[in-house]
């Protein structure tokens, strides 16, 4: 354990070996995350029905990320979980559509300070103490580093090429079958540039809704909004995103029935970030992540904001392959530096 309380995990080798070593290292915490997420899902369905629904995503992983299915198999063995339980950890966000997560994300391609992506992770405070920093060295893909709930194989992170991302929840009940968010975020950390990642994403069916702030060491910053089986990209050197779509969530002629809501403070937080971000250097980004305008439903979100709080704050220095991680509210807790190098 390091001084922040975050468990730091290292694993290397084949996909199954990665999962096995990761699972062994986080076994007790992964079980806690499993039961936390399962508790939300079983408010509306039985445990067996939830696990059966999780298994319906297997064909999409087999088709578009088969190495990650092997990693989940290794994770199940290492953490002493059933395969269905280990898979559930990767698709829980698709099954718990009533969750109330937030998050505020920033992407910046500052020409002097260097490109970065950042976010405040706003979620259930039950996650506190269940997060890990994972360093993976796959045999045939670039090394990578992630901040994630224990047992999740694809989350916020950066790879050895300087490709990194943060993410936001965006609410939409109309979803298409396809590859889901945590598998997508992990696959994106397997590419050398943002452009390569987008080329891959264009060729797969997207089974999630959400938003990813994606960047690389060259200074490319793209926000990806997922819905309707595909994605739309917003390409700007300095941008912010909260919990609503900035582009139309589905094509106007799709005929899909949409049902969407947003956190009531999402528009206010986005406007506040846009007001605060003029240069996009790291100092300005850190100040924005600590901002209390609209308290307690502010960018730095506090306990009496109604269900979710800022349980972590992450800043990724893409060119340096570094990640600053603060557990808890960034207004009152320090950031710890993790370097992939």
pLDDT digits (tens, 9 = 90+) for 4-43: 579 999 999 999 999 999 999 999 999 999 999 999 899 9
The domains of the chain are located at 100-249+259-339
Cis, peptide link before residue 264, omega less than 30° from 0: no
Model pLDDT, residue 303: 83
pLDDT higher than threshold 80 for residue 283: yes
Confidence class for position 96, pLDDT limits 50, 70, 90: confident
DSSP state of 126: G
For 165-187, the pLDDT digits (tens) are: 999 988 776 678 899 999 999 99
166: β partners: 213
Confidence class for position 2, pLDDT limits 50, 70, 90: very low
Cis, peptide link before residue 296, omega less than 30° from 0: yes
What percent of the chain is predicted at pLDDT more than 70?
Answer: 92
Between CA 146 and CA 133, with CA 18 as vertex, the angle to 5 degrees is 25
Alpha helices per DSSP H over 121-217:
181-188, 194-202
Model pLDDT, residue 308: 86
For 217-228, the pLDDT digits (tens) are: 999 999 999 988
134: β partners: 9, 146
Rounded average pLDDT over 78-95: 96
pLDDT higher than threshold 90 for residue 84: yes
pLDDT higher than threshold 80 for residue 64: yes
Please count the helices (runs of H) and the strands (runs of E) in the chain.
9, 14
Alpha helices per DSSP H over 96-131:
none
DSSP state of 206: B
- 8 Å CB contact between 73 and 39: no
Rounded average pLDDT over 128-135: 96
Rounded average pLDDT over 236-255: 77
Buried/exposed code over 236-275 (b: 16+ C-beta within 10 A; e: otherwise): eebbbbbbbbbeebbeeeeeeeeeeebbebbebbbebbee
- 8 Å CB contact between 311 and 142: no
pLDDT higher than threshold 90 for residue 250: no
Model pLDDT, residue 256: 45
Model pLDDT, residue 99: 57
Rounded average pLDDT over 48-68: 97
- 8 Å CB contact between 182 and 154: yes
Q: Could you tell me which residues come within 8 angstroms of residue 195 by beta carbon, excluding any fewer than 6 positions away?
A: 220
Model pLDDT, residue 175: 76
pLDDT higher than threshold 70 for residue 111: yes
Backbone angles phi, psi at 81, to 5 degrees: -115, 155
Q: Could you tell me which residues come within 8 angstroms of residue 47 by beta carbon, excluding any fewer than 6 positions away?
A: 38
d(CA 216, CA 128): 29
DSSP one-letter string for 35-55: HHHHHHHTTTS-HHHHHHHHH
Look at 187-191, 255-259, 328-332, 334-338 and tell me which has the smallest mean pLDDT: 255-259
Look at 99-113, 117-131, 192-206, 257-271 and tell me which has the smallest mean pLDDT: 257-271
Q: Could you tell me which residues come within 8 angstroms of residue 38 by beta carbon, excluding any fewer than 6 positions away?
A: 47, 50, 88, 92
Rounded average pLDDT over 325-337: 96
Model pLDDT, residue 291: 98
Options 1.20.1250.20, 3.40.50.720, 3.60.60.10, 3.40.50.300; CATH for 100-249+259-339 is 3.60.60.10
Q: What is the pTM for the complete model shown?
A: 0.94
Confidence class for position 252, pLDDT limits 50, 70, 90: very low
């Amino acid at each position: 354990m390091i001084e922040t309380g975050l468990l730091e995990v290292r694993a290397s080798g084949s996909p199954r070996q990665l999962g096995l070593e990761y699972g062994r290292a986080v076994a007790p915490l992964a079980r806690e995350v499993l039961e936390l997420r399962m508790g939300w899902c079983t408010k509306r369905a039985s445990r067996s029905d939830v696990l059966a629904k999780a298994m319906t995503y297997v064909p999409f992983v087999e088709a578009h990320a088969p190495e990650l299915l092997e990693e989940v198999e290794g994770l199940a063995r290492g953490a002493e979980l059933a395969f269905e339980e280990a898979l559930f950890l990767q698709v829980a966000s698709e099954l718990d559509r009533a969750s109330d997560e937030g998050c505020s994300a920033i992407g910046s391609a500052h020409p002097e300070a260097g490109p970065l992506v950042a976010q405040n992770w706003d979620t259930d405070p039950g996650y506190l103490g269940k997060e890990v920093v994972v360093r993976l060295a796959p045999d045939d893909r670039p090394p990578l580093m992630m901040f994630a709930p224990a047992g999740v194989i694809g989350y916020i992170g950066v790879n050895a090429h300087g490709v990194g991302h943060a993410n936001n929840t965006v609410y939409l009940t109309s979803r298409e079958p396809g590859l889901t968010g945590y598998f997508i975020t992990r696959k994106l950390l397997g590419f050398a540039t943002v452009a390569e990642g987008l080329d891959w994403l264009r060729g797969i069916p997207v089974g999630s809704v959400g938003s990813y702030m994606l960047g690389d060491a060259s200074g490319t910053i793209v926000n990806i909004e997922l819905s309707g089986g595909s994605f739309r990209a917003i390409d700007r050197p300095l941008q912010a995103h909260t919990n609503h779509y900035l582009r139309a969530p589905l094509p106007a002629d799709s005929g899909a029935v949409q049902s969407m809501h947003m956190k009531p403070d999402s528009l206010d937080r986005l406007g506040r970030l846009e007001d605060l971000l003029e240069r996009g250097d790291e100092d300005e980004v850190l100040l924005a992540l600590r901002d209390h305008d609209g308290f307690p439903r502010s960018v730095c979100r506090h306990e009496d904001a109604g269900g979710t709080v800022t349980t972590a704050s992450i800043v990724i220095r893409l060119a340096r392959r570094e990640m600053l991680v603060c557990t808890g509210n960034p207004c009152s807790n320090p950031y710890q530096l993790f370097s992939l190098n």
